[in-house]
A and B are shown apart, each in its own frame.
Chain A
Amino acid sequence: MARLGIGGWSVRLIVLGIGVALLFAPFLFPGVRAIEVAARICVFIVLVASYDLLIGYTGIVSFAHTMFFGLGAYGVGIALAQHDASWSALILGGAAGVLAALVLAVLIALLSLRVKAIFFAMVTLAVASVALVLASQLSNLTGGEDGVTYSAPDLFSPATALFHDATGRTARFFGVRMDGKIAAYYFIFGGSLVLYLILLRVTVSPLGTVLKAIRENEARAEALGYRVVAYRTFVFGFTAVMAALAGVLYATWLQYTGPDTTLSFEIMVDILLMVVIGGMGTMWGAVIGAAALVMAQYYLRDLMQAASDALAGLPLLPDLLNPDRWLLWLGIVFILLVYFFPAGIAGTLAGRETRK
């Protein structure tokens, strides 16, 4: 039932709230760390939504999503590190990364989408491991484990003034300096928004229904006249391109690309958790899952520190809430979420509303 009633009001309100918070993030939450968190949420929404199209809508399990994310990011990173910090290097590097992702995805899909789902998942895992090894071994190009550091185009430099005030200095709106960092944030926000809307559109398109049909009953979709292998290949390539574009955005924002920020399996696990927490096959879930997990990763420790301090003097409790134990608490929160929201936050909430 949950998948039919994706438009539950509470889910839409939550997503709208997150969207508005992200739109005004630089003004609502000033500070370097907050804007870092907001940009990461934007990029991960695209990454998780594209993964949801793959796993939640079509039922394809892949562990290569971070590899495609990494290809986009490394395309930008290598191009900007080896050439000047120009728009043309950014665009060419990004395009090369996206193209590489597309070609690789189509190859993997054509070679192995005919096999059973579990074997396909294993193939993607193997290819992704190779990509990770290559990234750390080809250190001339990729900087190995250290990654590459570079500058983004001048527009995004903190020294750039977007607007000048009467005295010729960088203007402030609501107390926020209108510098290149703001431009970079809105570049990320706008890019992510466009990509997310495209993904959302795909889910309500005729093709989106075919994807769900393949998830539900592959043989029947085939019997109706849909070439299932072609549709799967398309969606695998399409989501790889989306992940690579998310990588382009993230590399532009971070001005650093390394295995830990794009390729590692920890990120793959994060994506999986975000999809599950948000709600598979809902698209809205990507927004909720990405926001929840990224916030938890950045702020749970602070929250625990505050709680621990507030309870100082009581027995045991301050120790339990010691920020060093944040991963334990994160784990407990996950278990509770999965227990109370078995179809993910968006899926379960929407399901409750349609049942009424």
Chain B
Amino acid sequence: MPPSLETRDLTIRFGGHVAVNAVSCAFHPGELTVIVGPNGAGKTTYFNLISGQLRASSGQVLKDGRDIGRLAPSGRARAGVGRAFQLTNLFPELSVLENIRLAVQARSGVGRQFLRRASGHRELIEQAEGYLAQTRLTEVAHQPASALSHGDQRKLEVALLLAMEPDVFMFDEPTAGMSLDHAPDVLDLIAEIKKDRSRTVLLVEHKMDVVRALADRIIVLHNGTLLADGKPAEVMASDLVREVYLGKRGAA
């Protein structure tokens, strides 16, 4: 099966510092890849290069074989690359429902309509309500996003990504800072996405139990380079990875 997303020699330099160094990697539909690596390894930078928040110094980003590396983030989103952010990144004064509706209408193309009432688009609102139900946010639908608890804001972040209905789902530490009773909700959602074999999922995650439960494949980034790539059991067993990941030489 051809990869849905591929990076070729993807590199970015900030002055003399190479944050992501010639990373080539292909991601296939139906596969959930977890990206691990110590802090500062370049995981989020790698994500930013793929979804367009940063422009690569060199190298390519291919979506279904087409180079999207020169597109603005909006163009990449429309090409089917969806991204959820590590730090909560919402529209704080808009209601939860409006947040979701924005994601739904971006995809449906009605965002350019300016003389029709938004509330007249029943189908948009019904779709948005569907995502709220799926993420268990229905009760807070009419609250501003800024009034939500941290856990609910994380869920809304995931709901926004679901509502974009991308081909490629990118999650950057989706459970960061979540309490133990909220985290499973988000992980269940990701597991649900994974069931659809046409979707490609990329996940940055630190919690090893999460990695074990979800990963089909693990790649390890260290100092911006791709250090290891393989099945979870192989990668986690490798000494090199343990050394880098645990940050200790010779650790068990």
Contact surface of A with B, Cβ cutoff 8 Å: 1, 3-4, 198, 201-202, 204-210, 212-213, 216-217, 219-228, 231, 238
Contact residue among A1, A202, A217, A227 (Cβ-Cβ distance under 8 Å from B74): A227
Q: How far is the CA of A221 from the CA of B116 in the complex (A)?
A: 20
**A207 x B113 contact (CB < 8 A):** yes
Cβ 8 A contact of B113, one of A1, A205, A228: A205
Instruction: State in angstroms the CA–CA spacing of A1 and B144 once bound together.
Output: 7
Q: How far is the CB of A215 from chain B (nearest CB, A)?
A: 8
| Closest chain A residue, CB of each to CB of B163 | A224
Q: How far is the CB of A124 from chain B (nearest CB, A)?
A: 22
Q: A220-B90, A222-B72, A225-B77 are in contact. Are A208 and B160 (CB under 8 A)?
A: no
Given A1-B144, A225-B78, 5 more A-B residue pairs with CB atoms under 8 Å apart are A205-B113, A210-B105, A219-B89, A220-B90, A224-B164
Asked whether, in the complex, the Cβ of A217 is within 8 Å of the Cβ of B102, the reply is no
Assess the A216–B94 pair: CB atoms within 8 A: yes
Cα A133 to Cα B238 in complex, Å, equals 73
Q: Which of B26-34, B117-125, B221-229 contacts A (4 or more CB under 8 A)?
A: B117-125
Complex A-B, nearest 7 residue pairs according to Cβ-Cβ distance, in ascending order: A225-B77, A207-B114, A225-B106, A216-B91, A222-B73, A224-B106, A227-B74
Asked if B38 CB lies within 8 Å of chain A CBs, one says no
Interface residues on chain B, size class = 35 or more
Task: Say yes or no for B233: interface residue by CB 8 A criterion.
Answer: no
Chain A to chain B contacts (Cβ below 8 Å), 10 pairs: A201-B114, A202-B114, A209-B98, A210-B105, A217-B92, A219-B53, A219-B89, A222-B74, A223-B52, A226-B111
At the interface, yes or no: B112 with Cβ under 8 Å from chain A? yes
Across the interface, name the chain A residue whose C-beta is closest to B164.
A224
Check B51 for interface membership: any CB of A closer than 8 A.
yes
Residues of A within 8 A of B154 (CB): none
Do A205 and B116 touch (CB < 8 A)?
A: yes
Contacts of A220 in B (CB 8 A): 85, 89-91
Residue of B with least CB distance to A224: B106
